[in-house]
Amino acid sequence: MTGTTTRQQGHNKALGDYGERVAARHLAERGMVELDRNWRCDEGEIDLVLRDADELVVCEVKTRTTLDHGTPHEAVSAEKLQRLRRLAVRWAERQGLVGVPVRVDLVAVLQPGKGRALVEHVRGIG
């Protein structure tokens, strides 16, 4: 049988939610202001939308417990980056923001099972 079981999906959702909380806290501690979380439209979802000084930041959060299937960085394809840029424009338009500089960031969260999560913030990934 292939695919993801309901139990695995629940675990993955919980891990993703955890990673987003860790990422949001990490970014807030560095002065960024959260504007939205898990924003969705028909084209996709943005994990975090933030303001960093005068820039709008769309942040993709990738959370892993191991690196067995690659790093979080490897999970962000060129196609994903293009979609995030389009989503950023749609989010900004719906907020009435025009001409605001937009940046796409990645926060990679590695939660190895015990101890603190390792967090890496990569600014301007695309």
Q: Give pLDDT tens digits for 86-109.
A: 999 999 999 999 889 999 999 999
Q: What is the CATH number of domain 6-122?
A: 3.40.1350.10
- Average pLDDT score over the chain: 90
pLDDT > 50? residue 75: yes
pLDDT > 50? residue 14: yes
Q: What pLDDT sits at residue 67?
A: 86
pTM: 0.87
- Residues 57, 12: contact at Cβ < 8 Å? no
How are strands ordered across the β-sheet holding 102-110?
Answer: 33-41, 44-52, 55-64, 102-110, 118-122
Which has more confidence, 8 or 64? 64
- Per-domain residue ranges of the chain: 6-122
